[in-house]
Amino acid sequence: MKFRKYTYPNAEAWETQKALIVQTDEEGNESYNQSVVMVVELGHLVETPAVLDEEGEVVTEAVLSTDYCVDILWRNEPHADFVPTWVKPVGIHTFGSKHAAEYAKAYCEANPDAEYCNPPAPEEL
């Protein structure tokens, strides 16, 4: 299994790409095909949470990212048309520690010069 992260300029762009991994049964019900184990639509990430007043009413709306974020756990190799976004491991969401480790390894293979993959030499204490 392969854990990868993706960002899209908006939800509509994700819907377009999503069609590549969606199947429709004879009754018109949509589901993901066997290429994926799980898809989690993180959506527009919260950059600043909403502010509520003492009665619980929203005083200031949350500020959300413009990007639409999606995490996919692929059953085998990722679909070639899906271009991953290499977020520093493991970002804000995971499918478990084993998959997080796989993501971190792939991240360093794709970004060998990243600071995460080249930690400073341990200091003497």
Partner 1 sequence: MATLFDSASLALIPSGVKDGKVYSIKPTDGSGDFTFSRGTDTATRVNSSGLIEKERSNELLQSNTFDTTWTNSNTTETSGQTGYDGSSDAWLLTATGSTSAQIDQAKSFSSVHTFSVYAKANTSNFVELVTIGGGTNPRAWFNLSTGSVGTSYSTIDTNIESVGSGWYRCSITLNENITNYRIYIADADDSVAVTIGNSIYIQDAMLNEGLVAQPYIETTTAAVYEGITDNLPRLDYSGGASCPSLLLEPKRRNLFTHSEYFDGWTPSINGTGSAPVLVANTSDTLSPEGVNNAYKITLDAGAGTSLSDQSMIGSNGYGSLTIGNKYTFSIWMKGAVGGEELLSRSVTGAYTKHTLTTEWKRFEVTETASITSFNTSLGLRQAILGTLNSNITFYAYGAQLEDDGAGGSASYVSSYIPCMGTSASRAGDAIDLSTLPTLENNFSLHFKFIVKSDGVSERLYFYSDSVTGGQIQFFVLDSRKTRMFHKGLSSESTTSLTDNNITAVGDTYNFVLTIAPNSIKFFANGALIGENTIKVPTAIDSILDFENSQGLLMHGLYPTTLTDAEAIALTTL
Q: Site residues (CB under 8 A) for partner 1?
A: 1, 26-27, 37-46, 49-50, 52, 54-58, 61-62, 64, 71, 73, 75, 89-101, 104, 116, 119-120, 122-125
Q: Which residues pair with 32 in a beta bridge?
A: 22
Min separation Cβ 43 and partner 1, Å: 5
Smaller CB distance to partner 1: residue 1 or 106? 1
d(CA 69, CA 40): 9
Residues 45 and 69 sit within 8 Å (Cβ to Cβ): yes
Residue 55 or 81 with smaller CB distance to partner 1: 55
**Minimum distance of partner 1 from residue 27's CB (angstroms):** 7
Burial class (CB within 10 angstroms; exposed 0-12, middle 13-18, buried 19+) of 68? buried
CB of 81 to partner 1, least distance (A): 20
CB 71 within 8 A of CB 13: no
